[in-house]
Structure 1
């Protein structure tokens, strides 16, 4: 029985995506090609690993056991690929990959890169913007910053300073009105959409009966800032960003803060480059949000 890594990688992608179509798109190949690779793996192992159906792909019991072993081997092979890249590029170190949200990258980390390079001039970083938690066990990133604490085995999570938010408007929107004396139910409000689930901002809106006053929703913090700056509506945005834009705070009950976490794999806790990046991220957050 001969099984090559490329076929195993295809199986892992199909198993995790639960869809041949989604896996084929992620791998950059046709459905037919991917289907043939899965057929070849099943023939090589003599096992039925997946069940195909109109609702997607379901792992068999045998497929579930094979997936656990495949992912373990995949972790080691992925590290070999990274090492090969480093040696081929004649680099002494690989880029430290940081996975986090667009707001964190653009508003917190990118502006503070001089701070990192003043202390570690030769350090390379890769800023990955993603709303999904990267799989640190498979080394899709070295460090992640997220607003929820992951509970995956092998990961270490440490608290970062709280990110507070509030309602803000422009002087044009207020047009001389007192920001401390508004009937928010009669105003135009802008907020995050429901794709984020039960986040503090949406729960606050519902708790105070203001959902009906929301005239526009978006998944982008920067869009909310633009809406507030344009004078179109009152927007709920992070305090540190609103203050940078010179927006005016609107008197309202306090919005619960968000509690971000810095996450890294236990195996990397003593890696000097990754530790330097972790310390830099903490310093960036303390500068932007304040101390813990």
Structure 2
């Protein structure tokens, strides 16, 4: 007799057991009793004709062959979420938009969402900032801001522009550690820097600083809010997009002998989503907000060059 195809309800239970590591925890998440979880797993194993899960006093773990089912369940789960976001009422703008981006873009995304919902209150917007970029090709999110072009053939990238960064510090730190407010080629080793956590491949702004002799990093965090708080408290120099300093008057920009590298960003989304009205229009709104920021950045740079000392604050 041929094995039955697994039912989604049973796959969902298997997926939660894999994620939580026990029948009890999976049941609590799904609103099921432990015995019901065990019964569902047993039914799935019977349908497929092989053991999938082992239980012990330390928890539950899956057979290696069961991980293929986990991958299938995750893809199906993502497809269901995307389908629910795409659905809506009579309005073409009804539904959800999920955007993934780096921490420093949260304020811009919130501004875009505010403007968009004034016109389309039926749209629900989810803004997520994660250490791991979500998989846009499998529709974990509808769009994302990326620091480079995607390699997937199902994704499209719209250039947003280049962000110029500067180094900033509090008056207290500058008075103590950098009264000249100028960072020369030989000054990096003597300064404290507030940076992101190390990236898996040893990339990112901290590496640029290390290449110039920096070695003192008293505070690391993947949260922009935490880094700003530390810098405002006098813990060191922090990297910040030029133009956003107006939101942080406690920080002063430092002049640099070697300018920081600019970063080009893209708005990336699945090809199919360009036809969805709310996705297409929200992308335009986000692009407008980003363009306004770039204009502010250019204005700040021009003003900095006009001031005596070439940017002394």
**TM-score bin, normalised by smaller chain:** 0.7 to 0.9
Q: Tell me: CA distance 1:264–1:243, structure 2 relative to 1, closer, same or farther (3 Å).
A: same
Match of 1:248 in 2: 252
Conserved? CA contact 2:99–2:142, under 8 Å: yes
Give the alignment of 1:229-244 within 5 angstroms: 229-244=232-247
Deviation, 1:250, is 1.8
Match of 2:100 in 1: 99
Task: State the Cα deviation string for residues 141-171 of structure 1 (Å, max 9, x = none).
Answer: 2222233544445222333222332211123
TM-score when scaled to structure 1? 0.75
Conserved? CA contact 2:165–2:241, under 8 Å: yes
Match of 1:188 in 2: 192
1:273 partnered with 2:273: no
Q: Structure 1 CA distance, aligned partners of 2:290 and 2:52? A: 45
1:287 partnered with 2:281: no
- Segment of structure 1 superposing worse, 166-175 or 74-83: 74-83
Task: State the Cα deviation string for residues 14-66 of structure 1 (Å, max 9, x = none).
Answer: 67x5x7359x5798259966565444322212245578999x966645753x5
Q: Structure 2 CA distance, aligned partners of 1:150 and 1:34? A: 40
SS at match of 2:261: coil
Q: Structure 1 CA distance, aligned partners of 2:260 and 2:55? A: 46
Q: Tell me: CA distance 1:227–1:285, structure 2 relative to 1, closer, same or farther (3 Å).
A: same
1:177 partnered with 2:182: no
Deviation, 1:7, is 1.8
Conserved? CA contact 2:191–2:214, under 8 Å: no
Q: Tell me: CA distance 1:242–1:62, structure 2 relative to 1, closer, same or farther (3 Å).
A: same
Q: Tell me: CA distance 1:20–1:151, structure 2 relative to 1, closer, same or farther (3 Å).
A: farther
Deviation, 1:270, is 1.1
Q: Structure 2 CA distance, aligned partners of 1:157 and 1:47? A: 44
Conserved? CA contact 1:188–1:215, under 8 Å: yes
Match of 1:199 among 200, 203, 206: 203
Match of 1:140 in 2: 140
1:258 partnered with 2:263: yes
Match of 2:304 in 1: none
Deviation, 1:71, is 5.3
Deviation, 1:73, is 4.7
Q: Structure 2 CA distance, aligned partners of 1:272 and 1:281? A: 14
Deviation, 1:137, is 4.7
Instruction: Look at both structures and tell me which one has the larger radius of gyration over its CA atoms.
Output: 2
Match of 1:219 among 204, 216, 222: 222
Task: State the Cα deviation string for residues 196-226 of structure 1 (Å, max 9, x = none).
Answer: 6533312112201202x22222222222222
SS at match of 1:95: strand
Conserved? CA contact 1:96–1:125, under 8 Å: yes
Give unmatched runs, 5+ long, in structure 2. 299-313
Conserved? CA contact 2:79–2:139, under 8 Å: no
Conserved? CA contact 1:123–1:273, under 8 Å: no
Higher helix share: 1
